[in-house]
Amino acid sequence: MNTRFCFPGKLLPYIFYFTILFFLLWCWKPADAQILGTMKPPLVGEKVPDVVIANLLHFKKNSAKLSDFRSKMLILDFWATWCKPCVMMIPQMDSLEKQFAGKVQFLPVSYQTAEQISVFRQKFARRNGMRIQGPEVVGDTLLKSLFPHSGVPHYVWIDQDGVLRAVTGLEDITAAKIQQVLSSSSAFLTEKKDEPRLSYDPHTTPLLEFIGQQKLPAFGAVNYHAVLTGYIPGMQSRTSFLKPTGEGQSWRLTYCNENLRSMYGYAYGRARHFFSDNSVSIEVRDSSQFFHMGKTAREWMPQHSYCYELVVPGQLADSGFSMVQMDLRRMFPQYEAGIEKRKMKVLALVRTSGIDKIKSRSEQRKVSYDGFFYQARRTTMENFLVGLNGIYMNSSPLPITDHTGYQGEIDLTLDVKFSDLEDVNRGLSRYDLRLVETVDSVDILVIKDRMRPETSGDN
């Protein structure tokens, strides 16, 4: 028996070498782990790391380095079987590879499994009568980490020296562009830059809420949305209307903690006509949604106020108020609203002479009211009447209508007590204007219970 390897002095060197080998194997990490952990994606013009590609099909071996393809310009084709543009490009890439034989190599790269790719290739061959059996990468994570993207098809051009020449979309996969890159080291192709993929789950988060969470400039301009909430504690009750004044601006109407009477009134007034309490008729069986009904405003508002906003692109501005009205019908289907002409007592603003004492001589438009003093420059009679009905004399039991027939811009200054009709007429008299009681056909906003179809049954 040969015992030379059993002698302790002879065995120690082998134990030492075996320990070193075991340590090196323990420290070694696969190429993809190295890439994911330490290597940064190369920029165009930089050398591409010579990584080891695994899961190669139809190649002389199961794995290879990128440098194994350097005899030609290598174009990595990141694709997926479900991607229609990717599939449409297969015959074109096969044709280009034949046209530039010996100069260009397309290497398809997919995250899908070998089985999924093989099944697809078989179906593709049966349907199209062409079988493509070139090398391709399946189950990939390494190359995608080296050349990150969020959309396919995605093409990475690597020249014979291992330099990244371009990252493009399918529009650059043409014979002319390939010849341009092969002929010139300075050829420039448009770089495909994918946007970062956001993690969004519509099953857990509404889109508008998600957009608000991003706090990114790209999400700053939401040009179409409608939102309805209940009462928001601490928010001031108000209505805000913004119409577009320039290209790219949106039309927007916002109600903050407003009651239904105010919401319907503004929507049907279309920011041109104000429906004060004396020109709104609530004809419903249960009016608690519209009136306090013995409760204080503080008690009533949280249960009967809403926040609503509609934003539409500027080109739909003419339809904005109609869309708000449609939303009200959808959100509160128990009611229907409309404008009706009804004869009733009114306060009519009339001229008492033919002398024009209200014609504007101002250069700039300005309207102000501090609760005591009213001043208007370059306003219209229509706007003055809106102010009388909606603000200055909104406690009047009678609606105020315009019987002056005046069309031009006007200047007015009134230092009067608007709750006192006689004092108002005193102030108006210097302009030969007067409010007089009469009967007129007036636009009335009528809100009714929606009539439901009667159902019949056997007795």
pLDDT of residue 97: 95
Q: Which of 435, 274, 444 is nearest to 343 (CA)?
A: 444
DSSP tag of 450: P
pLDDT of residue 10: 55
Long-range contacts at 244-249 (CB < 8 A, ≥ 24 apart): 244/314, 244/317, 247/314, 248/314, 249/314
pLDDT of residue 436: 97
Task: Return d(Cα 89, Cα 77) in angstroms, integer.
Answer: 10
Task: Return d(Cα 350, Cα 428) in angstroms, integer.
Answer: 10
pLDDT of residue 193: 85
Q: What are phi and psi of 442, to 5 degrees?
A: -125, 145
- Which single residue is written with the structure tokens 């070498």? 17
pLDDT of residue 215: 65
41 touches 33 (CB < 8 A): no
Task: Return d(Cα 167, Cα 142) in angstroms, integer.
Answer: 17
Q: Where are the alpha helices (DSSP H) in 236-380?
A: 260-269, 297-304, 320-331
Domain 31-183 has CATH 3.90.1150.10: no
pLDDT of residue 336: 96
Task: Return d(Cα 147, Cα 98) in angstroms, integer.
Answer: 26
pLDDT of residue 38: 65
- Which single residue is written with the structure tokens 């990490």? 29
Q: Which of 333, 332, 316 is nearest to 225 (CA)?
A: 316
For the chain, the domains span 31-183, 207-333, 338-451
Task: Return d(Cα 224, Cα 211) in angstroms, integer.
Answer: 13
Other CB atoms within a 10 A radius of the CB of residue 310 amount to 22
Output the six-digit token pair for 156: 């990475």
Classify residue 378 as left (phi > 0), alpha (psi -120 to 50) or beta: left
Handedness of CA 389, 393, 397, 400 (dihedral sign): negative
Reading the chain (459 residues) residue by residue, the pLDDT tens digits are 444 444 445 555 555 555 555 555 555 444 444 445 567 899 999 999 999 999 999 999 999 999 999 889 999 999 999 999 999 999 999 999 999 999 999 999 999 999 999 999 999 999 888 888 899 999 999 999 999 998 899 999 999 999 999 999 999 999 999 999 999 877 789 899 887 777 777 788 776 777 777 765 555 566 788 999 999 888 889 899 999 988 888 899 999 999 999 999 999 999 888 888 889 999 999 999 999 878 888 889 999 999 999 999 999 999 999 999 999 999 999 999 999 999 999 999 999 999 999 999 999 999 999 878 899 999 999 999 989 988 899 889 999 999 999 999 999 999 999 999 999 999 999 999 999 999 999 999 999 999 876 555 554
340 touches 436 (CB < 8 A): no
Rg (CA), the chain: 39
